[in-house]
Amino acid sequence: MSEQSCGTDLMAGLEQRDPEKYARIRAAADAVPNGRGLLWRIEREGVKVSWLFGTMHLSDGRILDIPRPVADAFETAETLAIETTGILEPAEVMKAVAGNPDLTMLPPGKTLDDYLSEGERAELRDWLKEKGVPYQTVIRMRPWLILSMAGEASCETGRRIRGEKVLDVVLAERARESGKRVVGLETISEQFEALNSFPLETQVRVLLSTAALDESTDDMMETLVGLYLRGETGMFTEALLQLVPHDPQDLEDFTRFENRIVRMRNHVMAERAQEHLERGGAFIAVGALHLPGEEGVVELLRQAGWRVKPASE
């Protein structure tokens, strides 16, 4: 196991252990448009070349070890566009949390206890304690916010506590140091709105499901990291669906999540990237899950008239 990892890559060796399952995952991934590659070249006549790069919002050293082609493309850019610049200033995040109580806090007079059975309350309390999050400190927060605080893999929590920075922040800091413009494609409040767009009952259910799957979280994250390092963006979804047990309600919740948190935001980010692409010399860095698919950022930029192809071609 890598020094950086805290789980097992469930895809590693799957082709030998369970060739039928591997074949299903491989076939599903192959059917996803633009499902391979993290770095894409964006061109249009008369405009300086720009780039699209898929990130992972992690501080894992393997993720931060930026490949030479990506580093070279980054150096040529004049503008870095990330999902939101709000992540660069922790105080701004806290300000957004405090300034959007309708998005981050439960309705007045309500607490988590009102949405949980006695057994669920005990399970959630124990899980949060293991994550170092006292139940009483989050009892009035909306479940999506609690999940963002406690739902990460254990090794990522440790790195965050030590002050290590995720890839998007590292890129932004390097960009500022070299005099590049750093812009965001969304605001923190818009991201909060997307995460809070699900009914409270759904948010509670997802929080409880995550707590129940806690032992699998590290393996799920290590599997995603492995796929990311191999550039297999089109395999993310199918691998997790095939390798981690899900009940029908979990699958329904996941479909809603994918539509709201991924597809709908893809359109927003692709549209807002246009002004930076028109200027030329942009390096667009967004989560790798936003790249593939018929409504992925790669395809949406093509529909907007840009030539987008893998940097390796």
Give the chain's end-to-end CA distance (angstroms, integer). 33
Count of domains in the chain?
1
| Residue 2, in any domain of the structure | no
Q: Which position has the higher pLDDT, 252 or 179?
A: 179
Q: What is the DSSP letter of 169?
A: H
Is 9 contained in some domain? no
Tell how far CA 273 is from the center of its chain: 18
For residue 42, give the 3-state DSSP assignment.
strand
Q: Is the pLDDT of residue 2 over 60?
A: no
Q: Which region among 84-93, 170-179, 223-232 has the lowest average model confidence (pLDDT)?
A: 84-93
Burial of 179 (0-12, 13-18, 19+ CB in 10 A): exposed
State the pTM of this model.
0.92
3 within a domain of the structure (yes/no): no
- The pLDDT, as a whole number, for residue 245 is 72
Q: What is the pLDDT of residue 259?
A: 82
Q: What is the pLDDT of residue 1?
A: 46
Q: Tell me what percent of the chain is helix, strand and coil, each rounded to the nearest 5.
A: 60, 10, 30
User: Within a domain: residue 7?
Assistant: no
Euclidean distance between CA atoms 59 and 70, whole angstroms: 17
> In this predicted model, what pLDDT tens digit does every residue of 251-309 receive, in sequence order?
777 777 888 899 999 999 999 999 999 999 999 999 999 999 999 999 999 999 999 99
Q: What is the band of 172 on the pLDDT scale with cuts at 50, 70, 90? A: very high
Contact 38, 288 (CB under 8 A): yes
Q: Decide: 42 and 307 in contact? Cβ < 8 Å.
A: yes
pLDDT exceeds 90 at position 247: no
Residue with tokens 């633009």: 34
Whether residue 153 is predicted with pLDDT greater than 60 in this model: the reply is yes
What's the rounded Cα separation, in Å, for the pair 216 and 287? Answer: 22
> What is the structure's pLDDT at 224?
94
**Residue 118: inside a domain:** yes
| Full residue range of the structural domain in which residue 231 is found | 15-310
62 in any annotated domain: yes
* pLDDT at position 29: 96
Cα separation, 104 vs 106, in Å, equals 7
Residue 1 lies in a domain: no
Residue 6 lies in a domain: no
| pLDDT tens readout for residues 23-34 | 999 999 999 999
Q: What are phi and psi of 40, to 5 degrees?
A: -125, 140
| Residues near 67 by beta carbon (within 8 Å), at least 6 away in sequence | 39
pLDDT at 5 over 80: no
